[in-house]
Chains A and B, each alone.
Chain A
Amino acid sequence: MNVTTSDKSARGHWRHDLRLVAHQVKYEQLAFWLNRVGAIFTVGFSVVFLVMLGASAGNQLVKSLGNIRLVQYYVPGFIAYGVMSAGFNTLAITLVVRRETGLLKRLRLSPLPSWVLIASILLSTTIVAIVQVLLMLVIGRFGYHVAFPSSWIALLLAVLVGIISFSAMGVAISAVIPNQETAGPVTSIVFFVLLFLAGLWFPLPSGSGLAKFSNYLPVRHLMIAMDRSFLIPRGTSPWAWHDLLVVALWGAGATLLSMRRFRWSPRRS
């Protein structure tokens, strides 16, 4: 009668698990690029914005950051945007839609282990964010003479901390959004208000009221961490430990909330 134990140990191969992760990442990627909404929001929006803003107002100088050109401010800013959009906005909407249509429940009831699903989603989000980061770097460098970052490792670290933390925040907000209809509007409004307050479009003078307020929120800190890897403002070090810590704390808080509130099944009418 009890045939389970021997069967189980036979298939406990890490190779098998890695193959499953690769399999699932492939379809997560396919889902992201075929769905287009996420692709347009994350990659398309930042490319269009950087090209347009760079062409129109890119050469204005920003006094508060040591007279750098505005486009130099936008490149790390939109790198941060891409990381946050892939992790927060896109992931939250995707999760709500999958939950409410029963897709999450179906996955839960399939032999795919939950940790494989989570790892695959994180990996897939990272791939999307890195595609967007590379596009920003290339457009900035070859379109507007924005130098590559001074420390690639500092940039990579900020990207990874950003992806993990904002993905956790995306999962957390998906858990409190009741249905598909509100998922898009709620996350987008929250997201764009936060971006505006953090000064993505207009650099905030440090010490201003808005900057002080934004210091309690994670968005501005991730943008600062990206800036610093490009040595913005002039004369700083590329390592923004304090800012990364704030982002990570938000990520940790969001993880705790997600663990308490996450649901696999749709809300029954």
Chain B
Amino acid sequence: MTLALRVDNLRKSYPNIMAVDDISFDVERGEIFALLGPNGAGKSTSIEVFEGFLPRDSGTVEVLGVDPGDRQHLPWLRERIGVVLQELAVESFFTVRQVLERNAGFYPHPRNIDEVIEMVGLTEKRDAKVKKLSGGQQRRLDIGLGIVGNPELLFLDEPTTGLDPAARRTTWDLIRLLSSQGTTVLMSSHYMDEVEALAHRVAVLSHGRIAAQGSTASLGGRDKGEATIRFTLPPNVAVADLPVTPSRVDGNVIELRTADDLTTLHRLISWAIEGNVAIEGLTVARETLEDIYLALTRDDRDGSEARAR
């Protein structure tokens, strides 16, 4: 059993909408897998099906080898998964320690409470009331609740939504730490940088379908695609004098798209050195994950809510 999650042709509809429309993917044990997509793309619905919270319409789902849609398996499964919801689900009038102790009592083999408090960086706040914590600290406590049962598979539904940049970074560190300890992580996010920083593999969801999936580095072929070279046209040089042919000229900004960026750069720079011409504003860019994502989900964006970052 090397797969933590197997999803084949999963469908799930609500009365007026097809929320998840025939998706398939696998998550290997020890992996961080991300579901990326705008709001309403089907990320949370999929996760709720995997957690055994929602029934599915059709398709096969195996979580840690069992069907979460089968009630008989749920007690076994719930001892082995951890869940962090979009909502900050923590009682505000308990202390950090009390909340963790309460939830630890539900599991057969919980983690040590002090260890969890240290992992989520709340050692100094262990006896503070939850309502006195900052948003980032509450989220870390929330993740602490997700891992207190020592889960094999952790579901993180938009773990850093609403956090400030510093709190996001510490949350990322925590997710990396969990992964290094062998916990499989299935996360959803609409932040590109987050997925790029954390996930080994990613599936982009759009309108309930998978628009693309693959390793984070190669999604949409961006590791092999064309590079874009940009620079400012030097003064007293005409476009025709350049050693290269621009793809686009925007005012005095020259843009070149090429699959062979090294040769092109070599030619350009040799020319500049020989002629003693200064080239300013030189950049080389490949498609970012954001470019790919925006291209893949273009028809999914109607208004501001889906605009990530």
Interface residues of A (CB under 8 A from B): 1-4, 7-8, 11, 20, 23-24, 27, 30-31, 34-36, 101-103, 105-106, 108-113, 264-266
Contact = CB atoms under 8 A, between A and B. Distances in A.
Contact of A110 (B1, B73, B103, B108): B103
Interface in B64-80: 65-66, 72-73, 75-76, 78-79
A266 to B, nearest CB: 6
B89 A23 contact: no
Contact of A34 (B85, B94, B103): B94
Given A1-B1, A1-B65, A4-B66, A109 B83 contact: yes
Contacts of A101: 87-89
Given A4-B72, A111-B79, A112-B106, A105 B53 contact: yes
Contacts of A106: 83, 85, 89, 145
Nearest to A105: B85
A262 to B, nearest CB: 14
B149 interface: yes
Contacts of B91: 31, 103
Nearest to A34: B93
B102 A7 contact: no
8 contacts: A4-B76, A30-B94, A102-B88, A102-B89, A105-B53, A110-B78, A110-B107, A266-B87
A265 B53 contact: yes
B78 A111 contact: yes
A111 B75 contact: yes
A8 B88 contact: no
Interface string B107-128: 1100000000000000000000
Given A1-B1, A101-B89, A105-B53, A110 B106 contact: yes
Contacts of A4: 66, 72-73, 76
Nearest to A10: B108
Given A4-B73, A34-B93, A111 B98 contact: no
B85 A102 contact: yes
B85 A20 contact: no
Most buried by A among B51, B52, B102, B107: B102
Contacts of B83: 106, 109-110
Which range contains the number of B residues in contact with the other chain? 20 to 34
Most buried by B among A4, A108, A264: A4
Contacts of B105: 20, 23-24
Contacts of A2: 65-66
B92 to A, nearest CB: 9
Interface string B24-58: 00000000000000000000000000011100000
B292 to A, nearest CB: 28
Contacts of B103: 110
A27 B65 contact: no
Contacts of A27: 94, 98, 102
Contacts, number: 78
Contacts of B1: 1
Contact of B89 (A1, A11, A105): A105
Contacts of B72: 4, 8
Given A1-B65, A11-B108, A27-B98, A109 B53 contact: yes
A187 to B, nearest CB: 19
Nearest to B54: A265
Most buried by B among A36, A101, A111: A111
Contacts of B73: 4
Nearest to B78: A111
A36 B52 CA distance: 35
Most buried by B among A2, A24, A101: A101
Q: Which 8 A-B pairs have the closest CB atoms?
A: A102-B87, A102-B89, A106-B89, A111-B78, A23-B105, A34-B93, A27-B102, A4-B76
B108 A109 contact: no
Contacts of B86: 102
A266 B87 CA distance: 9
Given A20-B106, A103-B90, 19 more contacts: A3-B76, A4-B72, A27-B98, A31-B91, A35-B93, A101-B87, A101-B88, A103-B89, A105-B85, A105-B89, A109-B53, A110-B83, A110-B107, A111-B107, A111-B108, A112-B106, A113-B75, A264-B53, A265-B53
A209 B123 CA distance: 63
Given A1-B65, A35-B93, A111-B149, A8 B85 contact: no
A123 B216 CA distance: 51
A8 B93 CA distance: 35
Contacts of B51: 109
B68 to A, nearest CB: 11
Contacts of A264: 53
Contacts of A30: 94, 98
